[in-house]
Amino acid sequence: MTKKISIGGFTNREAYKKQPFWLLRNEPETLRKHEQILLNGMRHTGCDIAALGTFSTAFSYFVENPTQYDGASGDVELHKVHGYTYDIGAIMHDYLDAVNYTTSIEKIKTADKVLFKVMEQLGDSTYHIDKRAALLYIAAPFRYLNSKYISKRLSTAAPFNDAKIAQYIEEYTNGYSFNYGRIRKVLAILTFTILIYIIF
């Protein structure tokens, strides 16, 4: 399957080479042990069956497709296993992009809800959550166009049809909302920084 470009991929097409799925691509048993440690950590923070099931499916996907995960910058210690850093929310979020779930603005928002909720449950700092929310808000139109382009033009990108994961996502995000009002200041700073970068 052709790789979809996430925020990390916009600036570094080879970011996946620094991620554990790539570094341990020849050690699937090690990756599976890491998965169980991460799942246990999620259980201890109160993540439900829907979150656990989505994460496990996403993890398995990237074990098989290591070049499609380019990571993200969460609170490192919360996602570290034996020296390897996994961003749990980003794994789930990137998976939904990779399997063509995010082909509408509404589904992009839902995927973002999955990310924000799991970050909150795992105790990521408000600073990291707000920074990610602001970046995703700015990138939403590009993510939508990228997803629609790939799903329509490339025969290798099959439509999302996993009913079980769709149900998990619906259950996990039901009743959850993210207050975008709190990231106005971050949005302003990021927009200004991006404009300066483009101009100069």
Beta carbons within 8 Å of 172's beta carbon, 6+ residues apart: 48, 50, 51, 54, 114, 117
Average pLDDT of every residue of the chain:
84
- Of the two residues 135 and 43, the one the predictor is more confident about is 43
For residue 101, give both structure tokens. Answer: 């779930």
For residues 23 and 83, the answer to whether their CB atoms sit within 8 Å is no
Global pTM value: 0.83
Please state the domain extents for the chain: 7-199
- Supply the pLDDT for residue 151: 54
- Supply the pLDDT for residue 42: 93
Is residue 18's pLDDT more than 80?
yes
